[in-house]
Amino acid sequence: MSVLDLVRTEAPVPLVTLDHAKLHLRVDGADEDGYITDLIAVAVETIDGYSGRLGRAIVTQTWALHLPRFPSCRQIDLPLPPLQDVTSITYRDASGVAQTLSSATYDVLDGPKSAVVLKSGQAWPSTGDHPRAATITFVAGYGEPEAVPRTIVNAVLLAVGEMYANREGDGPSAEKAISRLLSGVRKIRV
């Protein structure tokens, strides 16, 4: 599979708060707040986004998929389920002028396989020669942190707990539990 030119343009709010993680870890006081905050970020980064273990967006976030041209087929598959919305499709026309494709030109399919599909009788416009000639901007994720499946939240908390307890990285005792929790929501790449 080729690497996508995919950029997060709006980061999500935190999935797990510092207070939630400290409650899970049974930590009082503020001495290690910075360290625990970093552990939360690492745990979330490990599972969230295109390169994360799940291959999906967790909390609402905005992404831009850049294409060197529109495809010859009628459908453009979108990564990072669950898809919430396609906010725009922009492109540089043959003259290099920025244009926005009318949403009346395409349909958005969500579900297990999200895509943008041309409507009947429509065609993708011609683009100029540019590595980012077309851009699809979309919003993905389960929504706010409260809408994220509890298995994902618990996997993040387990990862935080594992890293907190084994600061030297010599005790992968939670790895099986984390894998088991995430197996039901992991996106399979084909």
Q: CB–CB of 128/15 below 8 Å?
A: no
- pTM, rounded to two decimals: 0.84
Residue 81 counted as domain residue: yes
Number of domains the chain contains:
2
User: pLDDT value at position 111?
Assistant: 77
- Identify whether 107 is part of a domain: yes
Co-location of 26 and 70 in the same domain: no
Please report the pLDDT score of residue 187 as a whole number: 61
Report if residue 87 sits inside a domain.
yes
Residue type, 33: D
Beta-bridge partner residues of 99: 91
Say what the pLDDT of residue 175 is. 67
| Residues 96, 48 share a domain | no
Same structural domain for residues 101 and 131?
A: yes
Whether 70 and 129 share a structural domain: yes
In a domain, 32, yes or no: yes
90 part of a folded domain = yes
Both 99 and 118 in one domain: the answer is yes
| pLDDT the model gives residue 166 | 80
The pLDDT of residue 168 is 66
Q: Residue 61 and residue 35: Cα distance in Å, rounded?
A: 25
pLDDT of residue 190: 44
Find all residues with CB under 8 Å of 178, minimum gap 6, and list them: 155, 158, 159, 162
CA proximity to 157, closest of 7, 23, 8 = 23
Amino acid letter, 71: P
Other Cβ atoms within 10 Å of 173 Cβ, number: 11
| pLDDT (tens place) for every residue of the chain, 190 residues total | 356 899 999 999 999 999 999 999 999 999 999 999 999 998 998 899 988 889 899 999 999 999 999 999 999 999 999 999 999 999 999 999 999 999 999 999 987 789 999 999 999 999 988 999 999 999 999 999 999 999 999 999 998 998 898 876 555 555 665 665 566 666 655 4
| Structural domain harbouring 154 | 15-55+147-182
